[in-house]
Chain A
Amino acid sequence: MTTGRRGRVKRRRSARHRATRRTAPTGDLRRFHVLSEAGARNAATALSQILGRPLRLAVPWARVLPLEKVKEMAGGASRVVCALSLKVYGEARGNLLVVFRREQVPILLGLVVPRAHAAPSGAGDGHTLNDMERSALMEIGNILACAYLNALSHLLGVSLLPSIPGLAVDMVGAVTDHLLIELAALADSAVVLASQVHEPASGLKGSIFFLPHPSALVVLGRAQVHRAPAARVGR
């Protein structure tokens, strides 16, 4: 076996050391922050128009996280959420994850499909969604993702395309595994662009995470940060 050396098991290299393998310079983080905000603003605008209600945008951020901390980004590995996962194709590949807390699924469905949802199909627990509810949630994921990526496309001057969303109601740890797995072969840290949209009247809160592929960081670093974001959120 290749790992004969003792003590290798638990001794892990320091975060600082690991981060050197593939990471983003600080100047880039500022650009990523702008991208994160522009994307979320556009997503919030889209959702706001669908719901016919004003939406707030909560502090967007962009950070470099050690891989093993990615699972903690959406409220901890054990928290149960409704997650929509999309692959991003084009000149800046990556993964988008749209997350709502499980308790919010009925609120979300109530806003989008009020009449049909008059007789809930057990969506309260979030696990027994019927086809129509699944499809409504996936459509919301799709709209948020497209709006988000449109803003990024605009700022970067590149084309970005989302895949069809995958939907899961499960623990944060479980729905973020694939993000880690994809990055683990390439890097020791993950660049995470995060933002949150908030609908004050219903208390609806959704988080959007964009994890660019390491090869996309150069493209993202070219963002024109002096330009105003493409769209405004209705307030």
Chain B
Amino acid sequence: MTRMKGLRAGELRVAEAPARLAIHGLGSCVAVFVYDPRVRVGGMAHILLPGPPKGPADHAGRYATTAVAAVVAESIRLGAKRAALLAKVTGGSRMFAYDAHKDRPTVGDKNVEAALGALREAGVEIIATDVGGDHGRTVVADLQDGSLTITTVRGGSKVV
């Protein structure tokens, strides 16, 4: 069994094959997985918020803008080529439906939008998304084949 590393909220990690990176119980947070299939390195971020508050920001992994930049930079440091990087994005659910706020974009929506925006800005091609909905996800990224396995409690898992 290859080793699997769990990512907590606001954390990001880079790794090379055959490592696997996992997030258990992703709700309105967003997972961004980037990898270079050629050299089989990449990383994942467990993002809480679209952007950092004003002023000096630490916790790069918490915010979509800084987390994407950091995970791309760290993957490149491990040997990935920016132009070869591919990205998969998942999460951003609305777990509790409060009727009064149905039409407003949720923090999940904003997280997804910010993550996709940051990836485009970083020049990384987005090849798969599985976002939104009202259910949680457990996400396992496999650096060996670049697959992202998404499991929900309603049964069923899919690979993107």
Using CB atoms and an 8 Å cutoff, list the residues of chain A in contact with chain B: 1-4, 6, 8-10, 12-13, 67-71, 76-78, 80, 85, 127, 163-164, 166-178, 180-181, 184-185, 188
Contacts and interface: CB of A to CB of B under 8 A. Distances in A.
Contacts of A1: 69, 73, 122
A177 B134 contact: no
Given A9-B71, A173-B27, A174-B136, A168 B13 contact: no
B117 interface: no
**Secondary structure at chain A's binding surface: helix, strand, loop or mixed?**
mixed
Nearest to B97: A166
Contact of B60 (A9, A163, A169): A9
B138 A168 contact: no
Contact of B12 (A2, A4, A9, A69): A9
**Contact residues on B (Cβ < 8 Å of other chain), bracket:** 35 or more
A174 B9 contact: no
Interface string B55-71: 00111111000100111
Given A9-B70, A78-B25, A174-B135, A164 B8 contact: no
- Scoring A67, A184, A188 by chain B CB atoms within 10 A of each residue's CB, the highest score goes to A184
A1 B65 CA distance: 9
B95 A68 contact: no
B107 interface: yes
A76 to B, nearest CB: 8
A145 to B, nearest CB: 13
Contact of B66 (A2, A173, A178): A2
A8 B136 contact: no
B153 A178 contact: no
Interface in B1-36: 8-14, 23-29
B50 to A, nearest CB: 10
Q: Which 4 A-B pairs have the closest CB atoms?
A: A173-B25, A174-B136, A166-B96, A177-B27
B90 interface: no
A157 B11 CA distance: 40
B69 A168 contact: no
Contacts of B10: 67-68, 180, 184
B141 interface: no
A185 B49 contact: yes
Given A127-B153, A172-B25, A173-B25, 17 more contacts: A9-B14, A10-B13, A12-B11, A12-B59, A77-B25, A168-B95, A168-B134, A169-B153, A174-B27, A175-B27, A175-B95, A176-B25, A177-B9, A177-B26, A177-B28, A180-B9, A181-B107
Given A10-B13, A71-B8, A163-B98, A174 B69 contact: no
Contacts of B41: none
Contacts of B13: 9-10
B136 A175 contact: yes
A180 B14 contact: no
17 contacts: A1-B69, A9-B61, A67-B9, A68-B9, A77-B25, A85-B95, A127-B154, A164-B98, A164-B99, A166-B97, A173-B27, A174-B137, A180-B9, A181-B48, A181-B107, A184-B59, A188-B59
